[in-house]
Chain A
Amino acid sequence: MLLTKVEEKALAGEYGEALEIAYRVLVAIGKISDANRLIPIKWAHVSGVSYLTIGEYGLDFLKKISSTHGTKFRVFTTVNPCGMDIENWDLLDTPADYADRQLKIISCYEKLGIANSFTCVPFQSYKVPRRGTSVAWAESSAAVYANSILGLRTNRESAVSALASALTGKTVYSDLHIPHNRIPTKNIRIKMEKKVGRALAGSVDYGILGYFAGKNVPGVIGFQGQKLDLRITEAKALCAAIGTTGSSGMFVPNSKEKLETIDFTGKEYEDVFSDLSQSGEGEAIVFGCPQMTIEELYELSRMLGEKHFSKKCLVFCSSKIYDMARTRGYAQVIEGAGATFVRDACADFTPMISALNVDSVETDSCKGAHYMRKVHGVKISLKNTERIIEENTN
């Protein structure tokens, strides 16, 4: 890889240890991807915030980076959700020593300079640059959304590589940053309508499609056979599920490419559904994996009206979206129905789900189903939001 004189100096440690480490990471990644240069980015989105995922390992490293004198993020940087509601961390018995370590991680990031919201849907809260702009986003669901829906260009970064991009303002020019790589490598042909008699609709259906596609296509996915409904709820569910099962960083709707094609029929649908949903109902309800958008909070409040939940219901969203939902009156309706908002946290990687002390959870998210079972050992009942409300309110 060709480095500029300034980049060479940074790599040699002339601008301090944090930048030296960051350039070392970018150079190593450049070598495995045969890249020839680094390019500037407009936005870094860093994962690795919950203490439940990065542990002591990550905290050690972040302390080292953030304590290097004068080190700041060079570009606009957002970070993923953490493991608890920061302003209300004793909610649902978050253990005090967990909270203490979580706050230490957060203060490292704050020292480096981050936007004030902890979110896995950063495109909801901040102005999205124009199509074709290169960014460096970790958090697979957001990276797939950025490439496929927003027209931004990003590889699926890791916690450490996105951090290196935040510190340098640069990323490696490879893979999905290069226009000719942004075309399908395999197609998924949706054949639900003819065989099952209905088209895919709603977040569960789109999640199942994404879960299947991610597992079967490691590169860019081409969809055929049904015009996809890419409103935010469906698109978010599809992108999150693609990110859960594989390494794909992008999909293309209505693929015209003549390629190896895999059929997605009623059988494939049922296989994924029965793998993810092991229970008819759940003892608690979790909404917001990825975190709820303002559109989804509006829909939820509209469906709830005067109804009241008959079991515990957690709603995950960023603090910024929560504040917006309060201003618009949606949050009051949802809280009035007995649900608890958890702000700035991740539904999957929080001790709160284990602290609920339940054996089963109802959710509309395939990504949430995958991780909550793995991380917290709960059984999942996968249903659309409408049905969850219909069955669990009075």
Chain B
Amino acid sequence: MKTLKIRAIVDGHAKGEIIYSAQPIAFLQGVDTEKGSVSDPKSPIFDQPFAGKILVFPNTVGSSVGAYVIYRLKKNRKAPKAIVNQTTDIITASGCAIAGIPLFDLPENAISELSSAKEVVLDTKKSELIIEK
């Protein structure tokens, strides 16, 4: 069992299946809020539903209005259970804060460790991410 250090940006616990994108995500015009998936065909997770999963991607790009898209995902019940970034920016931080989605980033450059992980546990108290599978 491998563990990674995490930093909580929006507190919360989560456990479950992860969906991993090595590429950044643009929420405005890059995410389908009805389906709950990335709508950019160039994305490695194009069209794969992320609702109820732990969404892992390096960082966010694009318009600051993206925060409202994250909020909409939550209202549509299509939001990820939690988000893990390499580096979190103001768009994702403010979006997850208003939507109440637990959000974490990684103090060490370790996101690629998650590329083949299937299930993880996020523990805010210990600031740890445990790779279970």
Contacts and interface: CB of A to CB of B under 8 A. Distances in A.
Interface in A1-49: 21, 24-25, 27-29, 31-32, 47-48
Contact of B96 (A28, A47, A164): A28
B110 interface: no
A363 B94 CA distance: 34
Interface string B37-62: 00000000000000000000000000
A157 B67 CA distance: 12
Given A28-B94, A31-B93, A160 B103 contact: no
B98 A158 contact: no
A158 B94 contact: yes
Contacts of B103: 28
B68 A161 contact: no
Interface string B59-83: 0000111011101100100000000
B22 interface: no
B71 A57 contact: yes
Contacts of A24: 10, 97-98
Most buried by A among B69, B71, B98, B105: B98
B88 interface: yes
B9 A48 contact: no
Interface residues of B, number: 26
A28 B68 CA distance: 16
B90 A32 contact: yes
A57 B98 contact: no
Given A21-B98, A28-B9, A31-B9, A58 B68 contact: yes
B113 interface: no
A57 B68 contact: yes
Given A57-B33, A57-B71, A28 B65 contact: no
A160 B67 contact: yes
Interface residues of A, number: 25
B5 interface: no
B17 to A, nearest CB: 25
Nearest to B67: A160
B59 to A, nearest CB: 11
B108 interface: no
A29 to B, nearest CB: 5
B130 interface: no
B8 interface: yes
B49 to A, nearest CB: 19
Given A54-B65, A61-B71, A29 B90 contact: yes
B89 interface: yes
Contacts of B71: 57, 60-61
B95 interface: yes
Contact of A61 (B9, B93, B98): B98
B64 A160 contact: yes
Contacts of B8: 31
A178 B93 CA distance: 21
B105 A32 contact: yes
Given A21-B97, A25-B98, A29-B94, 6 more contacts: A29-B90, A48-B65, A55-B68, A57-B68, A61-B71, A158-B91
26 contacts: A21-B97, A24-B97, A24-B98, A25-B93, A25-B98, A27-B97, A28-B9, A28-B10, A28-B93, A28-B94, A29-B97, A31-B8, A32-B9, A32-B90, A32-B93, A48-B64, A48-B68, A56-B72, A57-B72, A60-B71, A60-B72, A61-B98, A158-B64, A158-B67, A160-B98, A161-B90
5 closest A-B pairs (Cβ-Cβ)? A158-B64, A57-B68, A160-B94, A57-B72, A28-B97
